[in-house]
A and B are shown apart, each in its own frame.
Chain A
Amino acid sequence: MENIFPLELADVCFAPNGVPVLGNIHLSIAGDACTVILGANGAGKSVLMRIMHGLLAPSSGRLAWNGGEARPSGQALVFQRPVMLRRSALANVAYGLKLCGVPRIDRERRARQALARVGLAHLAERPARVLSGGEQQRIALARAWALDPRILFLDEPTASLDPGAARDVERIVGDIRLAGTAIVMTTHNLGQARRLADEIVFLHRGRITERTPAPEFFRQPRSAEAETYLKGELP
């Protein structure tokens, strides 16, 4: 498999219609860690993630995968609200494989495998949209995982879920990480960040104030904004 790392952002700014959302972003993702992006609502976490994934183009600055401009295929994004196509759970997972050019004969096997890994093999034939929010999010994870991505982006994957479903998702993300996929995720759940993160990137009003190994961050963040955030106050 070709190497897509490092993902590098150099002086990336995002200002749609002149309204600055992100500015002066320098970030390098080596692809061997679970990076959690923390920050208050509106700090630009989701936008940063969409820019890295390629859904949004930066207004200025440079984004490069292993030195190249092209958007590589070995990546996937799981949204806060899972988008389920109007078909069975299995077909939802197989759909991602189809778009990636996986031959028909391999699709069903790989899709079933992915559903089994998230513990939903028994729901394979059910229409995805009638399943619960937690089950839908696990199908979305299976759809992403089935692609064997090198890096998986997760945008507040448990924000709309109850604690039980959130735990399931967290366990699956841990499994994906153990299988060798780099993780970049946002969350508002500090317990979750503590459990999953190797390192923390802290965003404040569209700028990165620090990037710190997770244990150190939770012991003593370097930036005053992060410290205030951790104390549960708005900076």
Chain B
Amino acid sequence: MDAFGIALGLVVAGDAKLLAIIALSLRVSLSAVLLASLLALPFGALLAVGEFPCRRSLVVVVNGFMGMPAVVVGLLAYLLLSRAGPLGSFGLLFTPAAMTIAQALLVMPLLAALTRQIVADAWREYEEQLHSLGATVGQAIATLLWDTRYSLFTVLLAGFGRAIAEVGAVMIVGGNIDGVTRVMTTAIALETSKGDLPLALALGAILVMLVLVVNALTFATGSWVQRKLG
């Protein structure tokens, strides 16, 4: 129970360092999800609607990548961004931008796979009508993404949950630098290894609360949509 006391104390006291860590976590994970969604949503919809060779294999691959270990994604991002890597010249390694990119790569398959599922369900219902009205593939995708927007919002929240909870990728490409790239999960890992268990637990409690809030939002949105749009 001590941990919750400390957590509460830290939050109430408005500990500047803690707040900065929380803010950075939110900023990195939110931008990662937004960045990933720009590609993953249209791509997921294309997998649902499009007719092209290897579509089924692509779906299997994307679904499989949902469970990609965060450290592996971190390693790939590290190779991309390191000095010798293809994006090395931008000098992004060990910056929040690098962490955003790594988390975006991490959640992209999750967003694409869930989007594909949701859009495919809607497409089954809409297909003949949209063909009848003469919709192109692009128009169909835009229509389906718009019409499933509330369900897709829960997909984004799921992506955010995965991003903010992971530690492997941000640790590798961010480096857990105090005041620069330290986020909640890396801070917890550090405090645990230093032996400051109460502080680690306190941070953990705050993280869990954040994730709970996100899930409550997801649930509330879902039932609101059900009531409003049928």
Contacts and interface: CB of A to CB of B under 8 A. Distances in A.
A95 B228 CA distance: 20
Contacts of B143: 85, 95
A86 interface: yes
Contacts of A79: 128-129, 132
B230 to A, nearest CB: 4
Contacts of B219: none
A100 B229 contact: no
B134 to A, nearest CB: 6
Nearest to B151: A86
Interface of A: 50, 53, 55, 73, 76-77, 79, 83, 85-87, 95-96, 99-100, 127, 129-130
B180 interface: no
A50 B128 CA distance: 9
A73 B134 contact: yes
Given A85-B147, A129-B230, A99 B139 contact: yes
A53 B132 contact: yes
Interface string B125-163: 110110111110001000100011000000000000000
B134 A86 contact: no
Contact of B131 (A55, A95, A130): A55
Interface centre among B125, B126, B132, B134 (most CB of A within 10 A): B132
Given A127-B229, A129-B229, A86 B132 contact: no
B133 to A, nearest CB: 5
Interface string B97-136: 0000000000000000000000000000110110111110
